[in-house]
Amino acid sequence: DQQVKQNSPSLSVQEGRISILNCDYTNSMFDYFLWYKKYPAEGPTFLISISSIKDKNEDGRFTVFLNKSAKHLSLHIVPSQPGDSAVYFCAARGVTSGSRLTFGEGTQLTVNP
Amino acid sequence: NAGVTQTPKFQVLKTGQSMTLQCAQDMNHEYMSWYRQDPGMGLRLIHYSVGAGITDQGEVPNGYNVSRSTTEDFPLRLLSAAPSQTSVYFCASSYWGDKTYEQYFGPGTRLTVT
């Protein structure tokens, strides 16, 4: 069973507008969530994270929102830039999982100039 | 710091052949892991290790072996390659017990099994 789901395989946005990437999870034991960004032919790189005790975390153009009652998180990128075009993975850690992460399927974001 | 390094970058194997994918990190991280990335499947955990001499299975361990004799190295062995193991393989590492849980990834190995 897929405990972390990213239902949109792709998203296309105009430069300067907001990009919103969504992620749903089913395991209520997840207590920490991360977003990773991946360019072609490179490994994923950490972008931003949020603890389950918070509902928002902001870092520059990137903000992650967590809605625990809906088991939903989203990544907002404002303003979007062509260099943001990449695959974005949502990941979650379980309370009893140590450092193990469960990843979603990924969303390909394309920012058009 | 080189971070996490993986070799080779590309590999083509015939069905039934065996090989070892190498992974090394120079950050003194206790936790290391192997993932495979397949289209529409995200990153799936194959095996992981929380320190030298300690390994455990992840989500998709069948057909793979690991060992951890040093903190730095965590090789992944394919015992008898199958076409279903065609994938991109990523090694990652992090501090164990680090409250940010941020993992650092290598550049990946693209494996094709014919």
Is B42 within 8 Å of A100 when comparing Cβ atoms?
A: no
CA–CA distance, B51 with B53 (Å, rounded to integer): 6
Taking 70 as the pLDDT cut, the residues of chain A under it are 1
> Is the Cβ–Cβ distance between A84 and A28 less than 8 Å?
no
Buried b / exposed e across A62-100, counting CB within 10 Å, b at 16+?
A: bbbbbeeeebebbbbbeebeeebbbbbbbbbbbeebbbb
User: Would you state the structure tokens that stand for residue B113, as one six-digit string?
Assistant: 């099994």
CA–CA distance, A75 with B25 (Å, rounded to integer): 29
Q: What is the pLDDT of residue B95?
A: 87
CA–CA distance, B18 with B31 (Å, rounded to integer): 25
Q: Which of B101, B102, B103, B110 to mutate to test the interface with A (most CBs of A within 10 A)?
A: B101
pLDDT per residue as tens, chain B (114 positions): 789 999 999 999 999 999 999 999 999 999 999 999 998 889 999 999 999 999 999 999 999 999 999 999 999 999 999 999 999 999 999 987 667 789 999 999 999 999
